Amino acid sequence: RWSAPPPDPAPIREDLLVKVMAGASMPTALLVQELPLRRQQPLDQLTQYQAMEADYRSHADLPLPEQYRYLTLRRGIRYEQSWVDWCDEVLAYLSAH
């Protein structure tokens, strides 16, 4: 049943995190090359989500189900934005060191 107590959160399994964690043991150029490519996917998704958000914001009185969809959309926006920000942070670090 979907309303049952939630399971434990799923662990994050992301190969890019592993590569950055091992960054001291690999050529920096490989990370500098891969990060912009990996940044693009969440940026594209973020752009789509922001367009959806603009549509939601154009309606002053959303029905209750739409308000909950909007809250879910906001989580997606924050998720994708965090990936873009993190990629930018790592790239800035790599360029400074």
Q: Is residue 74 part of a domain?
A: yes
Structure confidence by residue, pLDDT tens digits, 36-54 = 999 999 999 999 999 999 9
Q: pTM of the full predicted structure?
A: 0.86
pLDDT at 63 over 80: yes
Sequence-separated (6 or more) residues with CB below 8 Å from residue 88: 39
Q: Is residue 85 part of a domain?
A: yes
Q: What is the pLDDT of residue 1?
A: 63
Question: How many domains does the chain contain in total?
Answer: 1
Q: Is residue 16 part of a domain?
A: no
Q: Distance between terminal CA atoms of the chain?
A: 51
Centre a 10 Å sphere on the Cβ of residue 64 and count the other Cβ atoms it contains: 7
Q: Is residue 27 part of a domain?
A: no
